[in-house]
Structure 1
Amino acid sequence: MLESKLSAYASVPISHGVLISLLRDYRRPNDKIADWLAKGVLIPLRRGLYLVGTEWRRGTVALPLIANHLYGPSCVSLDYALAWHGMIPEHVVEVTSVSSRRSRVIENPIGRFSYSTVPAKLYSVGMMMESTAEGVSFLMAGPEKALCDKVLLTRHLMVSGVASMQRFLFDDLRIDPDTLSRVDLSLIEVYAVSGFKPRQLLTLLRVLERLQ
C-alpha cells in the first residue's frame, strides 16, 4: 500500500518535492496529494509542506521540529524555550521562535507558530540542538538565549534598575531563581554588549551575577 510508505517519514515534515518523487509513477501526482489531504493521510502545515496523518504516523509530533521547518532560518526561543528548560512554570501552547527574517505567525491544524525578528548578529548566539525522548532533534535556544530574547523583544519593558528587572523576572515571568544561578554569563554578556537594549540587558546581567 502506497500510504504505508509515508510511515517511513515518521513525524518529520514532508515537502511537496518529496511527495512528487514518491508518486513518480502517477500521471497526475498532485491529484493523489489532494486525495490524501481530503482523507487525512496528509496534514497541511503550509503550502508545499505536509505531515503524515495520525493513522499512518509513527512517533509523537515534535512541535519544535515543525517550527524549524515552517519558517527559516528560525530557532525555537522565548516562552516556549523557557518552559522547555523548566525556567517558567506555565505550559506554553504557542510555539515561539526567533528569526533573522521578518516576524510572522503561521497557524495550521497542528498549532500556532510565531516568529519574532532578532538582529542577525544575535540570531545564532546561544543556539543549541535539543531532542525529544524519541530522538527527534531540532534547533532551540539555550536557557540564556531564550531569556535574553525575551528581554530584547518585550515591548515597553521599563527597567530602571536591578529591582525592576527582578520584578520582571520573578513576578511577571515567574522564573525560578534557582534556574538562573546556573546560566552561562558569557552568553548574557554577548547580548549585553551588542548595542541592542543595552540598559535592560546590562541590568539583566547584574541581576544574574548576584545569583551566582
Structure 2
Amino acid sequence: MLAEGENMLKTYEMLKQDLTAYKALDMKIKRMADRREVIKLKKNLYETGSTVSGYLEAAAICTPSYLSFDYALSCHGLIPERAKINTSATCRKRKKKPSGTGSVHIYQDIPLSFFPFEIEICCENERPCLMATPEKAVCDKLCTVKPIRSRKHLQQLLFDD
C-alpha cells in the first residue's frame, strides 16, 4: 500500500510496484482513483495526494514545457498580482488543462527557435521543474500580444498593463 502522507507524482508502473500485494492491480488502481486516493492527471500519470505543487503538475502533464508568462512574472516579482493559473510555454499545441486537483494549467505555443533559451531549474522537495528567467518570461509574454506598432504602445504595455 502507499505510504501515509506520501504526496508525489507517480507513473502507472510506479503505482504497480507499490501495490504488488494485490492480484488485480488495474482494478485496485481504478478503485483508488474512484475513491480519490490517487488522482489521475493524464494517461499513466497519477498524483498520490493533493499537496503536490501545481507547477510540478504543470511540468509533468505536458512536456516539453517550462513555466513562463504570468506565472513566472509573478514568481520573479515583475507583476504585483499573484498568478493563480500555472502558465507554461511549449512548442506543442496550445491548450488549457484542468487537473484532478483543482489546478488549471495553460500551455501557450512559442516559436521553437525561442524555446530552449534562458530557462532555469527550480526545485521543490528535490523535484525539479523548469522556469523562464525574468527576461525570458517578458519576451514570452510579448510573443502572445498583438504586434506592437509604436514605442508609445510598447511603453503602455510594459508600464501600464
Q: TM-score, normalised by structure 2?
A: 0.89
Aligned to 1:125: 117
In 2, Cα distance between the equivalents of 1:42 and 1:167? 46
Higher relative helix content: 1
Contact 1:3 1:41 in 2 (8 A): no
In 1, Cα distance between the equivalents of 2:3 and 2:21? 16
Aligned to 1:114: 106
In 2, Cα distance between the equivalents of 1:118 and 1:5? 40
Query: Does 2:19 correspond to 1:23?
Result: yes
Q: CA shift at 1:95, angstroms?
A: 0.5
Contact 1:100 1:120 in 2 (8 A): yes
Counterpart mapping for 1:102-181 below 5 A: 102-110=93-101, 111-132=103-124, 134-154=125-145, 156-157=146-147, 159-172=148-161
Counterpart mapping for 1:179-194 below 5 A: none
SS of 2:113's partner is: helix
Q: Provide, for residues 173-197 of structure 1, a one-character-per-residue CA deviation record: whole Å limited to 9, x for no partner.
A: xxxxxxxxxxxxxxxxxxxxxxxxx
Query: Does 2:8 correspond to 1:4?
Result: no
Aligned to 1:97: 88
Show structure 2 runs of 5+ residues with no match. none
Q: Provide, for residues 158-209 of structure 1, a one-character-per-residue CA deviation record: whole Å limited to 9, x for no partner.
A: x23322111001111xxxxxxxxxxxxxxxxxxxxxxxxxxxxxxxxxxxxx
Show structure 1 runs of 5+ residues with no match. 55-59, 173-212
